[in-house]
Structure 1
Amino acid sequence: MLRTNAANAAAIRAAAEHRRATEGRNLEVRETTTGEGEAKIAEAENKAAKAEAELTQLQKEKGDLQSKVDANRDEIASLQKRIEEAEKTAKPAASPADASTPELQAQLDDARHQLDSAEKEKSFLSEKLQATQQRSAQPQEEKKRREAGARKPGVRGNVLAVNQAYNFVVLNLGARQGVEPNSEMLVLREGTLIGKIRISSVEPATAIGDIITSSLARGVQVQPGDIVVYAGTNS
């Protein structure tokens, strides 16, 4: 009898130890998942902030260059007018001893030299402005994609894991499938819309999305295995 009780007690202790060990491992997994999710979200927000700052700087440079190009264009027009007037005035004088002719010719040569310099500066500024426009085009397109969200019919996947504590999910879709940060996706279960998520971080083959809690019906939670599709493509 004593041996039986001792054996039962040992079994209970072993089961308790196993349960504590299992819970400890699960806690570590949850903490790791949460930490990775928060890190990815922070990384995505940091990238977005840097892109916004770069776009603002490029737009400022573009505005400054455009102002210089406009001023340069006005200067060229003014110089061309001066040259035309100087050429009319510098025609051969009636008297060879006219002392004003060399002076007018010098003014004409100087104006032509300034015009040549202005034309070169115009070419340089135009090239620089074009390069700035090309550089600013990419951040602008990226911003449009983030604001509008991607709308890619046929792109769909599944929820791999859910962190209810921090309201985010891990998807089996990533950049290779066209998933982009800040785009919204619909969550379906058995063909029925149950909520929405907003993509916060994208890897080549996976993505993390924040659950939009206001889109969920009362008592409904996103679960592993739920289907996700881009908003507007719930077929």
Structure 2
Amino acid sequence: MREDDWMQTWAWLRRSQAGKMLTPLLSILAALAMGVAAFAIYVVIQKGEQLQVVQRNLQLAESENSDLKSRIETVQQAKARLEEDLTGAQRSFAESQEELANSLQAQETLTRSIEDREREITRLTKDLDQAKSESSKVSSQIGKLQSERDEAKRQVAELERAKNDLEAKLMATDPSTVELDRVLVSGGASGTEAGGGMVMPISATPSAAGQVVVINREYDFVVMNLGKNHGVAVGQEFQIARGNEVLGRVKVEKVYDELSAAAILPDSKKSSIREGDTVRAL
């Protein structure tokens, strides 16, 4: 209803009797209407302001939502990168574990190899020490053998000198005497070779006694200062003694006028016999 219509209706009511009665009521209704309209306007204004606030909040929320979406996308991208990095790290970790297992196995193998080498070194060290000990023993034995060889050479030289002296004495006493060479123990010897003929053995007198003048330890024989002139015969046995100690027995193999060569029998104390020991016929 337009304002002109309201004005006409208001004029009609004042002119009519009923209008006079309704005027206060209408005034009240108009006041109420105006109050309601004012309230409605107020409400509309408030609603408009609220709507504006809501719109602004909505815009702000949309902006925040957009920003949040952007952040979410950024986070998701970061998450994807982190997942990729995590996958790579897991692969690297698995590879590292495999390398560690291989390294541990290699270390264990190396440790066993080192232990084997140490045991081998220990064994070789023991062998070396034993070889050094044996070498020392061998060196000692070599030195002993060299000393024995030198002693043997010295004894041979002395024996050669003694043989030469005896040969000179024999040549001086009997020109037909031969040199004293190696004497072999022979059970078939039955005579004495002297002057180019065979002489039958004769027995020495029981009291025949003499001395050892030469010892040949290489061929195990002695030379006694008893010979054909003392009744000594080839095959005769003599006892060698020093004081009351019996050192052994010898068997005559060659006989000369003043000397005889006799082989030392096996049951004798060969190493104890010396020049100057007494010999007696058995």
Larger radius of gyration: 2
Fold shared, TM-score > 0.5 on shorter chain? no
Higher relative contact order (CA 8 A, sep 6+): 1
TM-score normalised per structure 1:
0.39
TM-score normalised per structure 2:
0.33
